[in-house]
Structure formats: structure tokens, C-alpha cells
Amino acid sequence: MAQHNKVRKAVFPVAGLGTRFLPATKAVPKEMLTVVDKPIIQYVVDEAIEAGIEHLVFVTGRNKHVIEDYFDIHFELEQTLRERAKKAEITLLAQQLPKAGTVSFTRQQEPLGLGHAVWCAREIVGDEPFALLLPDMIMKGDKGCMKGMIDLYGQSGGNIIAVEECAPDQAHKYGIVGVGEAIGEGFRITGMVEKPAKGTAPSNFFINGRYILQPEIFRILETQERGAGNEIQLTDGMLKLLKEQDFAGYHFRGTTYDCGAKDGFILANVAYALERADIRPTVEGGFKELLAGLR
């Protein structure tokens, strides 16, 4: 197996306004909305840690201090739990708390797009490869998506993009990659196109919100012109990097819940609730009654 610089850091761009979930997100960051009893961001962080990530880098914005507080000790709460002998709750809080010194926060002062958010993390990431996980996306599968990407990175090096298959007639809705030779649980990427016109997509493999990128992307994003939506687009930067470095696609075989959309958020709650032995009997029965009522 080829030797490559270890991927130690992961970037989470959490500066978005969450306008699709107003009025809730007027006061609560969308990343802190709960799927059953855990914030969305906790599922994404868990995926990164499972893959061996050692340092979490959050790119935040105004009114996102709740995320910083969440990944910190809550002295008054923990003291109350100890006084009440709530051992299970104390253990739960300890399990989700990152080790001291392994979490960093930086600000994206203006909403200039994903590419700009990534660039804002450059000083913390430094000159090493890093993972990028979009905080809206919860991946559910037998193997963690980022874990699979790290495994593929060990074989291929370069840059890795997680992809999934969609129906060919739906490819115009996504960022699509071109498919080259097979490698491990994926393939070489020959090109990328954002929302291709119907009938022109190079494949039906779409980008699903997980990346491993080399630090040269920062140099490109430094001078990247604004693209779609008058924002600095990460895809535009990756297309330039593709001319210099190899990209591979990791074929994720699982289910992705887009919790940045109402339907994906609700489906994620249903799926994870049905996995919980403590609440499944009640929840499942309630769902069946609701569905029966729709008929």
C-alpha cells in the first residue's frame, strides 16, 4: 500500500444561515437541530472521529456560539447531574466531549460560499491534507463514509470525493463526476460538472458532501473568482486542482439524509428513531397509525 501524509484534521463549514428552517433557525443553528436526541452536527463529528480524525475545525459565523458551547464542558449542568446521581447522563456527556485542544473555531465573516468557508480554515489546517464534511449531511451505512474514504486515500493518495449513484434522469440536479479506472472501492475521477444539462451528464455519480483535499486547494481558492450565486465555489477550485493532482471517487453504499432540507431531516429522524430499542415500539406503532390514516 502506498504511503501518504495522514489525514488528521477535518473542516466543518457551519456558518450557514439555515433559512430553509426558519423560524427555528432564527435562534438555533440548523446544525444543532436534533435527530432524535443528538444534534445533526454530532452525527457528522462522530463519523469523522470514527475515521481517525484527530482535530476538528469549525468555520462558524455570527450567532453560532451555541456550537462552541456544545463542544465544551457545562459545569453547572454536570454538577447538577452528579448531585442527582445521574450516572448515565454524565457518561453520555463525557462521550461526546472532544479532548482538550482538539477543537478549533474560526469565523467566516461574510457568506461568500463553500469555497470561501474552506479557505477560512487555511491557517488552522496548514500544509497537510484534510477532510471536509458538510454538516447538513448524515451518512448511514454499514461502513462510515469518511472511514471508507480514508481507506481509499491510503491506496490512491491525492484527493478523494465521496459519490453516490442517482437515477440517470436525475443527474441534472447534482454535481456529477466523470468515471475512470477502478481503484479500491471507487474509481479515478476524470472530470466534474455542476448540474449538467439534461442528457449531458458524464455519469450518474453525484458528489454527496464528503471530501479529502490536499492543501494546494487553499492557494487556488485564494484567487478563485466568484461563480454560481456570486459565491466562491469549491467545485470551481477542485476543477483547477484536477489539472494538477489526481482525484478519486469513493463509492458510498448507504443512505444519505440531507438534513438541510425539511424532508431529509424528517426522514433522518424516522430512520434513527426506528433503530432505538427504547422508543421503537411506540414510534413504530404511531407511524403505522399515521400512515393508515392517510389511506
Beta strand extents in 5-99 (DSSP E only) = 9-13, 34-35, 38-39, 55-60
CA distances from 166 to 169, 177, 196, 253 (A): 8, 12, 14, 12
CA 38/CA 111 separation, integer angstroms = 26
Would residue 108 count as lying in a domain?
yes
**Mean pLDDT computed over every residue of the chain:** 90
Would residue 95 count as lying in a domain?
yes
The pLDDT value given to residue 110: 83
For residues 229 and 289, the model is more confident at 289
Q: Any idea which residue has 440531507 for its cell?
A: 258
The CATH number of residue 103's host domain is 3.90.550.10
Would residue 270 count as lying in a domain?
no
Asked if pLDDT for residue 18 goes beyond 90, the answer is no
Would residue 81 count as lying in a domain?
yes
CA 174/CA 163 separation, integer angstroms = 11
Reduced to 3 states (helix: H, G, I; strand: E, B; else coil), residue 207 is strand
Would residue 173 count as lying in a domain?
no
Would residue 192 count as lying in a domain?
no
Asked if pLDDT for residue 196 goes beyond 90, the answer is no
Residues above pLDDT 90, as percent of the chain: 60
Would residue 36 count as lying in a domain?
yes
Model pLDDT for residues 212-267, shown as the tens digit of each residue? 999 999 999 988 877 777 778 898 999 999 999 999 999 999 999 999 999 999 99
Do the strands 255-258 and 137-140 form a parallel or antiparallel pair, or are they unpaired?
antiparallel
**Span 41-59, average pLDDT:** 96
Would residue 54 count as lying in a domain?
yes
Determine the structural domain holding residue 59 and report its residue range: 7-156+208-259
Asked if pLDDT for residue 2 goes beyond 50, the answer is no
Give 1's pLDDT tier (boundaries 50, 70, 90): very low
CA 136/CA 116 separation, integer angstroms = 17
Asked if pLDDT for residue 10 goes beyond 70, the answer is yes
CB-neighbour burial class of residue 270 (10 A; exposed 0-12, middle 13-18, buried 19+): middle
Q: How many domains does the chain have?
A: 1
